[in-house]
Amino acid sequence: MSEPQHTAHYDPLVHVAPPDRTDAEAEVRARLGRAIRDVGHAVVGRHASVDDLQSTAATIELLAAQLDRGALRNRYEDEPRAGVWASPPVDGEIMASHDERPISGRSSPWGLDFEVHREGDEVVAVVTMRAAHEGAPGRSHGGLVAALFDDVLGFVLNILSVPAFTGELTVRYEAGTPVGVPLECRCRLAGQEGRKLFMTGELADAGRVIARTTATFITIDPERFLAGTA
């Protein structure tokens, strides 16, 4: 039987811009990521003429071809590999991770545009699903809710200052997830058994829980994690 595939969480590693990546580059990548996300939501959520759509498509294709001429980039090679591990964030602190993190990274073309902060032993994110996130009418696609949970649960690792893989993630959908309103996602460590971290979380709309998650994360040796051999 093949080994199960796990999702790695790179969260506790302190991000320091390497010599060939300036803060200015990080900022403009974040701006570009946001612009790409906004285009996606506008394409899905706004009426436009065929001429405007054709013009937009041609422009985006041209820009994509322009960027695609650059050298291949490996984010993990761009990140420092010295293994500097962060101290746990203080209560109330905004918790940052790498910019290209798919769900919460500010440079990610697929991001959900939210910040995470610590409240005691919990991590809390406020997110508003937008036009391109819609599945059923007026409701977010359920897979995005699962991705949101997986990402926010990963920030619990910042409090623990350990790297880990997602071993199992279960989501119970108790109501539809509305689009266009602020939602609160709250997660925490529920227990530990050896390398297994048991976590729970909820997604709420104005205090009403609309989805719950339980998850098991597997801790790994930091040096093996950084070396890519875990």
pLDDT score, position 227: 66
What rounded mean pLDDT belongs to the chain?
A: 88
CATH of the domain at 108: 3.10.129.10
In a domain, 120, yes or no: yes
User: Which residues pair with residue 32 across a beta bridge?
Assistant: none
So what's the pLDDT on residue 35?
97
- Residue 35's H or E segment, with its range, is helix 23-45
The predicted model scores a pTM of 0.86
Give me the count of residues in the chain. Answer: 230
178 neighbors 205 (Cβ within 8 angstroms): yes
CB 62 within 8 A of CB 69: no
Classified as helix, coil or strand, 225 is helix
Instruction: Give a yes or no: residue 70 inside a domain.
Output: no
| Amino acid found at 161 | S
Q: Determine, yes or no, domain membership for 220.
A: yes
214-223 average pLDDT score = 92
- Residue 61 belongs to a domain: no
Q: Counting beta carbons within 10 angstroms of the beta carbon of residue 134, is it exposed (0 to 12), middle (13 to 18) or buried (19 or more)?
A: buried
Q: Which of residues 76 and 32 earns the better pLDDT score?
A: 32
Which backbone phi and psi does 91 adopt, to 5 degrees?
-60, 130
Domain that holds residue 122: 8-16+77-227
Q: How many domains does the chain have?
A: 1
pLDDT tens-place string over residues 71-80: 998 776 655 4
Which pLDDT does position 222 carry in this prediction?
78
With CA atoms as reference, report the closest residue to 127 among 190, 178, 201, 168: 178
**Can you give the pLDDT at residue 17?**
37
Structure-token match 């119970």, residue found? 172
In 135-195, beta strands by DSSP E: 164-173, 182-193
Give a yes or no: residue 55 inside a domain: no
Domain assignment present for 215: yes
Question: pLDDT tens across 131-154, in order?
Answer: 999 999 999 999 999 999 999 999
28 domain-assigned = no
From residue 114, alpha-carbon distances to 22, 148, 163 in Å are 24, 10, 22
Task: Answer yes or no: is pLDDT of 19 > 50.
Answer: no
The answer to whether residue 48 sits within a structural domain is no
